[in-house]
Amino acid sequence: MLVNRFKQMTLVAFLMLLLSSFSSADFINEPKEIIDANANAAVQQFYKDVRGGKAFLSKVKGYLVFPSVVKAGFVVGGKYGEGVLRINGKSVGYYSIAAGSVGFQMGAQKASYIIAFVSQDALDKFIRSNGWEAGVDGAITVAKWGANTDISTISYKNPIYAFVFGEKGLMYNLNLEGTKFTKINR
Full pLDDT tens readout for the chain, 186 residues: 555 554 554 444 444 444 444 444 455 678 899 999 999 999 999 998 888 889 899 999 999 999 999 887 776 778 899 999 999 989 999 999 988 777 666 677 888 999 999 999 999 999 988 776 765 555 677 776 555 566 766 767 889 888 888 877 655 445 565 678 888 886
Q: What angle do CA 43, 65, 135 make, to 5 degrees?
A: 135
Range of the domain at 167: 2-184
Q: Please tell me the pTM assigned to this model.
A: 0.76
Give pLDDT, residue 18.
45
Predicted pLDDT of residue 19: 45
Q: CB of 110 within 8 A of CB of 84?
A: no
- What CA–CA distance (Å, rounded) separates 9 from 32? 40
Counting the structural domains of the chain, the total is 1
Identify how many contiguous H helices and E strands the chain contains and give both numbers.
4, 6
